Amino acid sequence: MFTNQIHSQNKKKKMNTIQPPVAKIVPKKLEKHGNVRTDNYYWLNERENPEVIDYLNKENDYYNLSTVHTKEFQNNLFLEMKSRIKEDDSTVPYLYNGYWYITRFETGKDYPIYSRKKGSLDAKEEIMFDCNEMAKGQSYFNLSGINISEDNKYAAFGVDLVSRRQYTIQIKNLETGEILPVKIENTTGGSTWASDNKTLFYTRKDPQTLRSDKVYKHKLGNDTSKDEMIFHEKDDTFYTFIYKEKSKKYLIIGSTSTLTSEYQILEANNPDGNFRIFQPRVRELEYSISYYEGNFYIVTNADKATNFKLMKTAENATSKENWNDLIPHRKDVLIEGIEIFKDYLVIEERSNGLNKIQIKPWNGSGDYYLPFNSETYTCYTTSNVDFNTEILRYGYQSMATPSSVIDFNMKTKEKTILKEQEVLGGNFNKNNYTEERIWATAHDGTKIPMSIVYRNGMKKDGKNPLLLYAYGSYGSSMDPYFSSTRLSLLDRGFIYAIAHIRGGEDLGRDWYENGKLLKKKNTFTDFIDCSKYLIAEKYTSNKHLYAEGGSAGGLLMGAIVNMAPELYNGVIAQVPFVDVVTTMLDDSIPLTTGEYDEWGNPNEKKYYDYMLSYSPYDQVKEQDYPNMYVSTGLHDSQVQYWEPAKWVAKLRVMKTNNKQLFLDTNMDAGHGGASGRFEALKELAKEFAFLFDLENIKK
């Protein structure tokens, strides 16, 4: 105990001798609706300004010097987490159009190898892409959107070397190994082949806002300058994309915003024909379409079906007045999606916050659900690209159970576990951990579920360190999942919890609707109420409670440290969206216009006032703040680096205590962090070391 006190005192002395950088103040007046805000750090958005780069580097230096005593521990954590991962791993092969496709990793290598085998898994391996070779000399590398022509000869693929999600599409001849001299810049990375094997459709982005807004058609052998634009999505609140549905009969152009959908269809064997509207867009009408034997199946919220329903229409009569109910709306069941097979319809549902998978034979021989017993599980359909099969492939995991890939015979109801995630090292046993589903009561009486996991034998004495994670935006459900890296927390006495707060879709569509726009603050107060419940029930205390969130979850972190800083000893905010008002007023920034339906349009005063009342950057005030670790990427296209940079700069001069405040900027990466499967572990090791240092856990 005495040694720990000396260590703690020495650490404080060291921290006090290292002075954090102070960003210069350049006041900028921002006026809207008669309200004037002064932004002292607006200048930090000048990405090319050497002073900005210098400031970010100084923040990095401050973080590195302040945490130098944890560097060895960080490295040990990295090696520990890496040691649990099977390095020479591979995905479960799947059969598509006569070939088995496999993604595998080799020992000591960061990037995947994409390969295939013709006809049989015993056939010779054809390596399509070795990303380890392709990534040589690059500080960032990401390959995306591999798309094989129907004759199996060509593979289109996208490459991003910057981490701004602007991909260059190229084409490889899989028979000769030649990469064609085709480079299509500034795309989403995805593409789709027509049935003629020579026409490739793809989507380009607006170079400034990065909104995917134009669909093009490329003919093999032609210069890309001759590519024809076949659709331009001019509404800047929508983005567009193109794909081929599972039966391969139709090419489909989609246009979606937060609240509205529209699709266009064209026979894949007629690539030079004209796409036709499936159902014209109607504000707040959402739908998605799947094709099967002369009919389209539509998952939609039509007719006030808040939790969505399944409808059906003939392929030659696709407008809404022709749609007929197949599975009607249910108040307590959310339909999340469907999979169509030759003999079966599979429906993914969610009720009471849990995933369910329903099987419906087309011949009417009896519907049934896959059986699941746990209360903290996640199940989901995976690679089901084969239309003519009785096998449904799905995934299953829980907070204590590693993820499994399972083949289920929908006719015989037999299941085969093809693969369970291996946790190497010989120390892991899922029976050593306890999983719980607990419910906190929000300020308005709503019950908020939490999924929680910890090592057996935990005592509710308020002394346990606990990391509470949440997201809570865009209707994204945060399902309980297994993580081998999380074991580094659990095995050192941490409790890990996920708060399923409003703003996600965990308990249905209403759960989302009650955590967005003018009800956004429910997201923040739900998290705070979950925190208070965990403290009241003595899972932890405010001396040992930690919070974590990224992107829109980083907004959540920014809000809770303003609203209830006394509840947390430490907070991790990854690529946080914290300058809500300024960003949402700038329609040149990627994503802004497409997000009006999520946050509101601040050009309207009621939304401006509401956003301003919670925007973390605007609401920073003179008060004590928890210890904070904030991370970002210089090239982030989702949340611009200057949001966390400005936020930290303002916190430095406003906070009234001397607790830790770190800004750690990856100067080579973007929203998803570092590329390469092991580089990401180094970033995670930094976060864990931050927590362990605060808990005085040294190894």
pLDDT in tens, 616-667: 999 999 999 999 999 998 876 566 899 999 999 999 999 999 999 999 999 8
Q: How confident is residue 165, by pLDDT bands cut at 50, 70 and 90? A: confident
Q: What is the mean pLDDT of residues 572-584?
A: 95
Q: Is the pLDDT of residue 4 over 90?
A: no
pLDDT at res. 3 = 37
CA angle (136 as vertex; 134, 142 as ends), nearest 5? 55
The string of pLDDT tens digits covering residues 610-624 is: 999 999 999 999 999
Q: How confident is residue 16, by pLDDT bands cut at 50, 70 and 90? A: low
Contacts for 149 with CB less than 8 Å, ≥ 6 apart:
155, 156, 193, 197
Which of 187, 32, 46, 88 has the alpha carbon at shortest distance from 584? Answer: 32
Q: In angstroms, how far is the first alpha carbon of the chain from the final one?
A: 16
Q: What is the mean pLDDT of residues 58-81?
A: 96
As a whole-number percent, the residues of the chain with pLDDT over 90 amount to 81
CB 573 within 8 A of CB 631: yes
CB 441 within 8 A of CB 529: yes
Helix (H, G, I), strand (E, B) or coil at 131: helix
Helix (H) or strand (E) holding 484: none
Q: What is the mean pLDDT of residues 131-141?
A: 90
On average, the pLDDT of the chain sits at: 92
Q: Give the integer Cα–Cα distance in Å for 332 and 255.
A: 28
Contacts for 97 with CB less than 8 Å, ≥ 6 apart:
148, 150, 152
Q: What is the mean pLDDT of residues 369-391?
A: 86
312 vs 590, higher pLDDT? 312
CB 241 within 8 A of CB 189: no
Tokens of 169: 């599409």
pTM: 0.83
Q: Is the pLDDT of residue 89 over 90?
A: no
Is 364 exposed, middle or buried, given 0-12, 13-18 or 19+ CB atoms closer than 10 A? exposed
Q: How confident is residue 512, by pLDDT bands cut at 50, 70 and 90? A: very high
Residues belonging to the active site? 551, 636, 671
Q: What is the mean pLDDT of residues 540-551?
A: 97
**What are the phi and psi torsion angles at 15 (to 5°)?**
-60, -40
Which of 451, 427, 431 has the alpha carbon at shortest distance from 440? Answer: 451
pLDDT at res. 388 = 85
7 vs 661, higher pLDDT? 661
The string of pLDDT tens digits covering residues 230-279 is: 999 999 889 999 999 988 999 999 999 988 999 999 999 999 999 999 99
Q: What is the mean pLDDT of residues 371-388?
A: 84
**What are the phi and psi torsion angles at 324 (to 5°)?**
-125, 140
Q: Give the integer Cα–Cα distance in Å for 308 and 345.
A: 16
Q: Give the integer Cα–Cα distance in Å for 340 and 360.
A: 10
Q: What is the mean pLDDT of residues 170-198?
A: 95
Tokens of 619: 């609401």
